[in-house]
């Protein structure tokens, strides 16, 4: 039962974050705005992964498998952006 | 060389092999004779055989395209083909060899056959998925062939924009779709291996007891899963750009052609390691078995496979030194490319050290292993030369590059493929082949290969650009040498086809462990029964634990 | 988790089989992340090359429709989570009901998306077909192209998800899907659904909220 | 271009010589790294043949220090060469200010070269010795790559931007130039000759080749003909940024950034006007994407570069 409750609470948090990111988009511009909206996006997906996608119940290996690809993408982003920023 | 020795372990030799043996009657090969029992099988060993057939077919098609090109390049004017025809020929050669031979070659055949046997499992984690990925592979391959031959694509396997997206006349879209489909096969296979290695190791098969071949396949699978999707999405963008004038890579819409190259090489450079890592794994097995000794520095060799897989994702920019990439990015990529040399070097030096004080046999598998080491070293070191920015400016997109990656891909991976074939053939079909012929084939392949590709290093430094159908007369002599070598190489590749097929019927029964090697796969009968192990084995000793004598012995 | 059903061929016990399935699913989702990662890289480069124009183009999109759609997906994820919870407890009806409502929210998302496309088309934002382009610069057009590809690919994934959930819902209710023994099936499908949700969670700010 | 067999490429610049030196030195290194492996393998294969009597006591199967040393030492050797080659490479990105500028336009399947005084040539490039030459290259269609083996130089020519190649040729003669990046059907015949001449010969060649007027002057004609002067001219009523003395100066952009007005900036301002809008001016300039060919744009760029302060007002 308390599982259901926690699921609903997570949902509330997600909706609040959504509201936050929309409001932020009206107030912040440029890099700051990007940082905030992406930060919030990471927050949301973190909640989803941890509670809805069972990472809180799985042990290390599964967690690595689930999050590894996300980390791997940073390689692509880092180097591609580095090229464009230093041209 | 001293007198050729006969097969080491000769169980029931009296039987000249014509009649089928008891073990064969219970083997996976005899578990059902109907077509259905093959085409709907979930047995990893049968799926491996299915892959072996498909891949051999693609190897021959890609080879035919290569033969056509080498024939055409005999004369500077290229009298045999038209410019368009030549471009299509090397596109067929590239696409087929890369995506339908090299990438699936060792993982999908020997990986499929051996990984469960080596880790003491009854099958891969997802047998149905395994069969599915074979069907996807064959479907994609057939489709690709149709597109390349019927339609004709002239972009090269790299599909560079804006040539592919706006200017080429070929069926780029269909080709992209075909390769896209093939990608699913890669991803599913990689996924299957990863889960299998993690979850299905038998009791006692700890990570530091894992055969080095399994380590290599595992590293390869990581790349397959992480890199292939990026290629898929890139191909989608190409197709969309061609169909709907999407602007992502189109400078007229503020897009950037170099972005395509970044995305493409983020897949395609790691893909090089997809092709070569399994080969490195095979050679580790061959060297250990040939020397009857544990691989020198097991932990370093195992770790270097993972290191190569990881570093391989940080170096793609070395394909773009003259493409207009930022000079600083180029410098970083150049440096990281040197870093790959470290784990590769570790492997080579450790193999050499493994031979020290071993009992070395010169049976065919080891000859292929030596071929691999030699050619891989040359390919790797010329790769270092290409990683040097100033040199790359001169030899980039010349035959120097062509020679370099053929030393790795053909000299390396294909030799290892044949090595694996000769090493595990007795396990796969349960019969032995004539060793003499095996040795001859190995030697011819070595000679033919070097004659074909060494001249191309010279051509490249002389300034012969790649993908050239018409070339300056001063290059002719070297091209003729190369073509001559190619014909020798082609014949040498056909030899095993003959005597291995012969052995299936007339070879003597191999016995469980003809090489006297360690490893769980050699504890099963040859060929293995459908379920590999009657009861799941328990491992209680390190890998490659050949007995080591402490006193000097006299033979 | 209790499993009475005999395990399939390569496995030694139920635990092992279940872990393998979970790991396999996570790895597969990893490959999905890499797939969309390519698109996000493209978006990043566009923003780097043409910051001003990307912001202009992004402003033209319907922030609020996007927000509503995000809320719809988040809610659907909640339903899926609840469905899986029921499945673990062996409640067939509950599982089916929650899965079905999640799937229908997915359908709602698609409906809204189609409506949004039609608006944009009428406003001349979408390249190609019919209505005159009101986009002032080529770069903004390229951005709209990216928007189309990204949201289109996401919609395709969502469609697959909807079908998946519906099939499982039916099988759960009809009892052809043994629960809780085969709970892994709704769990895996749920993981996929949540990932599609996560992807949208990133698509929304990147496409709609560039300022 | 000698007989059917040659083994080492001709070399026509000091830079080319340095590359050759580097390559030879590096070859020595890789031979040193690999020869031991081959020797050892053959030796062991002979000495420890199976069944051969040999001392096989106490074989080792690991030796961490040995392994660490043979992975680290070669790496340090490599780093030395990395520094050397990166230094050589970096020079290519710093063309001298006073270099003789030649515009290059690549298209399927030909090379067009435009000399500053307006002489144009196709698939043939004449340059003088003893003077740095800077090629500013643009592509009309796909990616090409200008490759001059005798200089050991190559640079891709990418649509949508300018790439630069510079050199200081010192050995008169006729050499090959080729396209190195696969560019479609006739890729392999998209080449020509690269002619290095003494300054005197070069001057004579410039005389012979007929021209009406210099590149900048042709650009000026386009500038008026295409209506650029309508807004950027002195008499115009429209608020458009002045172009006199613009080249090489920093420009303030909408949104606070500043950028140096180089060839690329001027090109983008003509073809993608909204990309970088000069601060304080309305973004009203239309794109000339489909109006001007790459050659036209290069000519206009040359014209704008030639504009000193006040040139437009007279």
| Domain range list for chain C | 14-208
Segment holding B538, helix H or strand E: none
* Subunits adjacent to chain D (3 or more Cβ pairs under 8 Å): B, C
In terms of C-beta density within 10 A (0-12 exposed, 13-18 middle, 19 or more buried), how is residue B256 classed?
buried
* CA B497 – CA C83 distance, rounded (Å): 56
Q: What pLDDT score was predicted for residue C73?
A: 96
Q: ∠C177-C180-C183 over CA atoms, to 5°? A: 70
Beta bridge partners of D102: D135
User: Domain D215-306 has what CATH class?
Assistant: mainly alpha
* CA D223 – CA D233 distance, rounded (Å): 9
Give the Å distances, CA to CA, from B321 to B316, B468, C117, D156, D159.
10, 21, 41, 9, 17
Q: How many CB atoms lie within 10 A of CB C65?
A: 16
Contact assessment for residue D190 and residue D105, using Cβ atoms and an 8 Å cutoff:
no
Q: Chunk chain D into consecutive blocks of 10 residues (it has 314) and report each block's average pLDDT, rounded to whole numbers.
A: 72 93 95 91 89 78 80 88 95 92 92 89 92 94 95 94 94 94 92 94 87 81 82 77 82 81 85 81 81 85 80 56
Q: 3-state class of A72 per DSSP?
A: helix
Mean pLDDT of C58-79: 94
3-state secondary structure B131-171: HHHHHHHHHHHHHHHHHHHHHCCCCCCCCCCCHHHHHCCCC
**Residue ranges per domain, chain D?**
14-91, 100-208, 215-306
Q: ∠C180-C184-C188 over CA atoms, to 5°? A: 140
* Subunits adjacent to chain C (3 or more Cβ pairs under 8 Å): A, B, D
Q: What pLDDT score was predicted for residue B411?
A: 93
Query: C23: nearest CA in chain B?
Result: B195
* CA B290 – CA B5 distance, rounded (Å): 13
pLDDT tens for residues A47-73? 999 999 999 888 889 899 988 998 999
Query: Side-chain half-sphere of C129: how many Cα atoms within 13 Å?
Result: 9
Contact assessment for residue B272 and residue B313, using Cβ atoms and an 8 Å cutoff:
no
Instruction: Label the pairing between strands D173-179 and D100-107.
Output: unpaired
The whole-angstrom distance between D279's CA and the closest CA on chain C is: 13
pLDDT tens for residues C170-206? 999 998 988 888 899 999 999 999 999 999 999 999 9
Q: 3-state class of D191 per DSSP?
A: strand
In which residue are the tokens 């030096």 written? B349
Query: B533: nearest CA in chain C?
Result: C10
Q: What pLDDT score was predicted for residue C4?
A: 44
Facing B326 at nearest CB: one of A72, A75, A83: A83
* CA B230 – CA B224 distance, rounded (Å): 10
A51: its two tokens: 């509670």
* CA C11 – CA B199 distance, rounded (Å): 9
Tell whether the model's pLDDT for residue B318 goes beyond 80. yes
Rounded to the nearest 5 percent, the helix, strand and coil shares of chain A are: 85, 0, 15
Contacts of C28 in chain A (CB under 8 A): none
Segment holding C112, helix H or strand E: helix C92-122
Quickly list DSSP for B400-416.
Answer: HHHHHHHIIIIIIIIHH
**Residue ranges per domain, chain A?**
1-56, 59-87
Mean pLDDT of C131-140: 70
Preceding omega of B445 cis (within 30 degrees of 0): no
Segment holding D55, helix H or strand E: none
Judged by CB atoms closer than 8 Å, whether chains meet at C202 and A40 is answered as: no
Homologous superfamily (CATH) for B37-519: Cytochrome c oxidase-like, subunit I domain (1.20.210.10)
Q: What pLDDT score was predicted for residue D310?
A: 64
Chain-wide mean pLDDT for chain B? Answer: 91
Judged by CB atoms closer than 8 Å, whether chains meet at C138 and D289 is answered as: yes
Rounded to the nearest 5 percent, the helix, strand and coil shares of chain D are: 35, 20, 40
Q: What pLDDT score was predicted for residue C25?
A: 95
Give the Å distances, CA to CA, from B528 to B44, B51, B425, B520.
12, 18, 12, 11
Query: C50: nearest CA in chain D?
Result: D275
B148: its two tokens: 């390349």
Q: What pLDDT score was predicted for residue D249?
A: 83
Contact assessment for residue C40 and residue C49, using Cβ atoms and an 8 Å cutoff:
no
In which residue are the tokens 């699936």 written? B104
**B414: nearest Cα among B97, B44, B47:** B97
Judged by CB atoms closer than 8 Å, whether chains meet at A65 and C190 is answered as: no
In which residue are the tokens 């790959």 written? B340
Judged by CB atoms closer than 8 Å, whether chains meet at C195 and A53 is answered as: yes
Per DSSP, helices labelled H in D184-310 are: 199-208, 215-225, 228-232, 263-271, 294-306
Contacts of C39 in chain B (CB under 8 A): 233
* CA B174 – CA A37 distance, rounded (Å): 38
- Tell me, which fold does domain C14-208 have in CATH? 1.20.120
First to last CA, chain C: 48
Q: ∠B478-B484-B487 over CA atoms, to 5°? A: 145
Mean pLDDT of C80-84: 95
Q: What percent of chain C shows pLDDT beyond 90?
A: 67
Instruction: Provide the strand spans (E) within chain C.
Output: none
Contact assessment for residue C81 and residue A3, using Cβ atoms and an 8 Å cutoff:
no
User: What distance lies between CA B381 and its chain's CA centroid?
Assistant: 19
D54 phi/psi in degrees, rounded to 5: -160, 160
Contacts of B328 in chain A (CB under 8 A): 82, 86
Interchain CB contact of B396 with D (< 8 Å): yes
Mean pLDDT of B173-177: 92
Q: What pLDDT score was predicted for residue D277?
A: 82
Tell whether the model's pLDDT for residue B213 goes beyond 50. yes
Contacts of A59 in chain B (CB under 8 A): none
Judged by CB atoms closer than 8 Å, whether chains meet at D277 and C137 is answered as: no
Contacts of C83 in chain A (CB under 8 A): none
Contact assessment for residue D194 and residue D148, using Cβ atoms and an 8 Å cutoff:
yes
Phi-psi region of A54 (alpha: psi -120 to 50; beta: other; left: phi over 0): left
* CA C17 – CA B136 distance, rounded (Å): 25
Contacts of B354 in chain D (CB under 8 A): 61
Tell whether the model's pLDDT for residue B325 goes beyond 70. yes
Exposed e or buried b per residue across D105-135, where buried means at least 16 C-beta atoms within 10 angstroms of its C-beta: bbbbbbbbbbbeebbbbeeebbbbbeebbbb
3-state secondary structure B351-363: HHHHHCCCCECCC
Give the Å distances, CA to CA, from B404 to B453, B455, B456, B459.
8, 11, 9, 12
Beta bridge partners of D164: D136
Mean pLDDT of C130-159: 84
Q: What percent of chain B shows pLDDT beyond 70?
A: 95
Contact assessment for residue B312 and residue B273, using Cβ atoms and an 8 Å cutoff:
yes
What's the DSSP call for residue B535?
A: S
**B498: nearest Cα among B438, B419, B412:** B438
* ipTM metric: 0.90
* CA B311 – CA B328 distance, rounded (Å): 19
Q: What pLDDT score was predicted for residue C2?
A: 41
Judged by CB atoms closer than 8 Å, whether chains meet at C38 and B230 is answered as: yes
Q: What pLDDT score was predicted for residue C132?
A: 59
Dihedral (Cα; D193, D194, D200, D206), 10-degree rounding: 70
Phi-psi region of B493 (alpha: psi -120 to 50; beta: other; left: phi over 0): alpha
* CA B500 – CA B49 distance, rounded (Å): 14
Q: What pLDDT score was predicted for residue D244?
A: 81
In terms of C-beta density within 10 A (0-12 exposed, 13-18 middle, 19 or more buried), how is residue A14 classed?
buried
pLDDT tens for residues B463-510? 999 999 999 999 999 999 999 999 999 999 999 999 999 998 888 888
pLDDT tens for residues B367-408? 999 999 999 999 999 999 999 999 999 999 999 999 999 999
Select from C14, C142, C152 the residue whose CB has the most chain B CBs within 10 Å, as the one to mutate to test that interface. Answer: C142
pLDDT tens for residues A3-40? 889 999 999 999 999 999 999 999 988 889 999 999 99
Please give the radius of gyration of chain A, using alpha carbons only, rounded to the nearest integer. Answer: 16
Interchain CB contact of D149 with B (< 8 Å): yes
Query: Side-chain half-sphere of D92: how many Cα atoms within 13 Å?
Result: 30
- Tell me, which fold does domain D100-208 have in CATH? Immunoglobulin-like (2.60.40)
Contact assessment for residue B60 and residue B446, using Cβ atoms and an 8 Å cutoff:
no
* CA B348 – CA B301 distance, rounded (Å): 9
Beta bridge partners of D54: B553
pLDDT band at B418 (very low <50, low <70, confident <90, very high): very high
Facing C52 at nearest CB: one of D255, D287, D289: D255
pLDDT tens for residues B64-107? 999 999 999 999 998 899 999 999 999 999 999 999 999 999 99
Query: Side-chain half-sphere of C41: how many Cα atoms within 13 Å?
Result: 35
Q: What pLDDT score was predicted for residue B1?
A: 33
Q: What pLDDT score was predicted for residue B11?
A: 47
First to last CA, chain B: 17
């Amino acid at each position: 039962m308390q599982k259901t409750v926690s699921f609903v609470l997570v949902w509330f948090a997600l909706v609040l974050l959504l509201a936050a990111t929309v409001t932020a988009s009206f107030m912040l511009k440029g890099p700051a705005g990007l940082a905030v909206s992406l930060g919030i996006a990471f927050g949301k997906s973190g909640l989803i992964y941890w509670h809805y996608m069972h990472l809180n119940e799985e042990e290390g290996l599964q967690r690595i498998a689930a999050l590894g690809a996300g980390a791997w993408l940073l390689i692509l982003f880092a180097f591609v952006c580095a090229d464009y920023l230093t041209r | 060389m001293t007198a050729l020795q006969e097969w080491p372990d000769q169980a029931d030799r009296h039987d000249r092999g014509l009649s089928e043996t008891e073990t064969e009657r219970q083997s996976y090969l005899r578990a059902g004779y109907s077509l259905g029992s093959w085409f709907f099988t979930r047995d990893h060993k049968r799926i491996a055989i299915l892959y072996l057939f498909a891949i051999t077919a693609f190897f021959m098609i890609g080879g035919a395209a290569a033969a056509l090109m080498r024939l055409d390049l005999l004369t500077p004017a290229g009298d045999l083909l038209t410019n368009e025809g030549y471009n299509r020929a090397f596109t067929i050669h590239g696409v087929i060899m890369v995506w339908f031979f090299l990438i699936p070659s060792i993982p999908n055949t020997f990986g499929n056959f051996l990984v469960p046997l080596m880790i003491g499992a009854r099958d891969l984690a997802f047998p149905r998925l395994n069969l599915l990925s074979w069907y996807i592979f064959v479907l994609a391959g057939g489709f690709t062939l149709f597109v390349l031959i019927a339609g004709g694509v002239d972009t090269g396997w790299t599909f560079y924009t804006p040539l592919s997206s706006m200017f080429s006349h070929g069926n780029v879209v269909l080709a992209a779709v075909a390769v896209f489909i093939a990608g699913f096969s890669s991803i599913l296979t990689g996924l299957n291996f990863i889960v299998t290695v993690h979850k299905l190791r038998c009791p006692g098969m700890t990570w530091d007891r894992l055969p080095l071949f399994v380590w290599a396949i595992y590293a390869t699978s990581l790349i397959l899963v992480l890199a292939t999707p990026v290629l898929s999405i890139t191909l989608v963008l190409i197709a969309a750009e061609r169909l709907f004038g999407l602007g992502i890579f189109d400078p007229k819409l503020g897009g950037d052609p170099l972005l395509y190259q970044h995305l493409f090489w983020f897949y395609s450079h790691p893909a090089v390691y997809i092709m070569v890592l399994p080969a490195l794994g095979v050679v580790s097995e061959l060297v250990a078995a040939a020397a009857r000794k544990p691989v020198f520095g097991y932990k370093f060799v195992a770790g270097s496979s993972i290191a190569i897989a990881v570093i391989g994702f940080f170096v793609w920019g070395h394909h773009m030194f003259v493409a207009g990439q930022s000079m600083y990015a180029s410098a970083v990529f150049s440096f990281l490319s040197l870093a790959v040399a470290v784990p590769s070097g570790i492997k080579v030096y450790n193999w050499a050290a493994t031979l020290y004080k071993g009992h070395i046999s010169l049976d065919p598998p080891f000859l292929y292993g030596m071929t691999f080491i030699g050619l891989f070293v040359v390919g790797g070191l010329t790769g270092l030369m290409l990683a040097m920015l100033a040199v790359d400016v001169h030899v980039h997109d010349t035959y120097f590059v062509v020679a370099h990656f053929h030393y790795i891909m053909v000299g390396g991976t294909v030799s290892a493929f044949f090595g694996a074939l000769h090493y595990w053939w007795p396990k796969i079909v349960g019969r032995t082949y004539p060793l003499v012929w095996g040795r001859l084939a190995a030697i011819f392949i070595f000679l033919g290969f070097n004659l074909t590709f060494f001249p191309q290093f010279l051509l490249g430094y002389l300034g012969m650009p790649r993908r050239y159908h018409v070339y300056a007369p001063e290059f002719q002599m070297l091209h003729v040498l190369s073509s001559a070598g190619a014909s020798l190489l082609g014949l040498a590749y056909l030899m095993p086809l003959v005597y291995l097929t012969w052995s299936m019927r007339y070879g003597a029964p191999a016995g469980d462990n003809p090489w006297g090697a360690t490893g769980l796969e050699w504890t099963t009968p040859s060929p293995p029964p459908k379920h590999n192990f009657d009861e799941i084995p328990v491992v209680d000793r390190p890998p490659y634990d050949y007995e080591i004598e402490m006193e000097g012995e006299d033979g | 988790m209790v499993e009475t059903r005999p395990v399939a061929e390569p496995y030694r016990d139920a635990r092992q089989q279940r872990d393998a399935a979970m790991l396999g699913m996570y790895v597969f989702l990893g490959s999905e992340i890499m797939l969309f990662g390519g698109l996000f890289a493209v978006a990043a480069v566009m923003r780097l090359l043409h910051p001003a124009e990307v912001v202009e183009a992004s402003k033209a999109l319907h922030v609020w429709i996007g927000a509503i759609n995000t809320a719809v997906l988040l809610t659907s994820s909640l339903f899926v989570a609840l469905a899986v919870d029921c499945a673990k407890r062996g409640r067939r009806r509950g599982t089916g009901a929650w899965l079905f409502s999640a799937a229908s929210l997915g359908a709602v998302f698609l409906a809204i998306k189609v409506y949004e496309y039609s608006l944009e088309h009428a406003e001349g934002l979408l390249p190609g077909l019919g209505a005159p382009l009101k986009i002032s610069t080529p770069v903004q057009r390229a951005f709209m192209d990216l928007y189309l590809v990204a949201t289109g690919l996401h919609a395709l994934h969502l469609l697959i998800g909807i079908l998946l959930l519906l099939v499982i819902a039916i099988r759960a209710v009809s009892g052809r899907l043994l629960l809780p023994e085969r709970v892994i099936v709704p769990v895996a499908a749920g993981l996929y659904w949540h990932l599609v949700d996560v992807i949208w969670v990133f698509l929304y700010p990147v496409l709609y909220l560039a300022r | 271009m000698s007989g059917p067999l040659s083994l080492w490429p001709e070399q026509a610049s000091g830079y080319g010589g340095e590359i050759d030196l580097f390559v030879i030195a590096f070859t020595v290194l890789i031979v040193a790294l690999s020869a031991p492996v081959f020797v050892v393998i053959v030796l062991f294969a002979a000495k420890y043949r199976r069944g051969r009597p040999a001392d096989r006591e106490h074989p080792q199967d690991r030796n961490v220090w040995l392994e660490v040393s043979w992975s680290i030492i070669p790496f340090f050797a490599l780093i030395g060469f990395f520094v050397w080659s990166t230094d050589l490479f970096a020079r290519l990105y710093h063309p001298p200010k006073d270099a003789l500028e030649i515009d290059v336009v690549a298209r399927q399947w030909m090379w067009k070269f435009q000399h500053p005084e307006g002489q144009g040539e196709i698939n043939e490039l004449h340059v003088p010795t003893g003077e740095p030459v800077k090629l500013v290259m643009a592509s009309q269609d796909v990616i090409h790559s200008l490759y001059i083996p005798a200089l050991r130089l190559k640079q891709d020519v990418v649509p949508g931007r300018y790439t630069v190649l510079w050199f200081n040729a010192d050995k008169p003669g006729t050499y090959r130039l080729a396209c190195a990046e696969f560019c479609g059907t006739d890729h392999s015949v998209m080449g020509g000759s690269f002619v290095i001449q003494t300054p005197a010969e070069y001057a004579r060649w410039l005389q012979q080749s007929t021209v009406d007027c210099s590149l900048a002057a042709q650009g000026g004609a386009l500038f008026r003909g295409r209506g650029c002067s309508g807004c950027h001219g002195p008499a115009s009523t429209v608020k458009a940024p002045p172009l006199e003395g613009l080249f090489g100066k920093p420009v303030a952009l909408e949104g606070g950034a500043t950028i140096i007005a180089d060839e690329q900036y001027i090109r983008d301002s003509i073809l993608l006007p909204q990309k970088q809008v000069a601060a304080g001016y309305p973004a009203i300039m239309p794109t000339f994407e489909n109006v001007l060919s790459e050659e036209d744009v290069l000519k206009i760029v040359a014209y704008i570069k030639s504009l000193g302060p006040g040139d437009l007002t007279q």
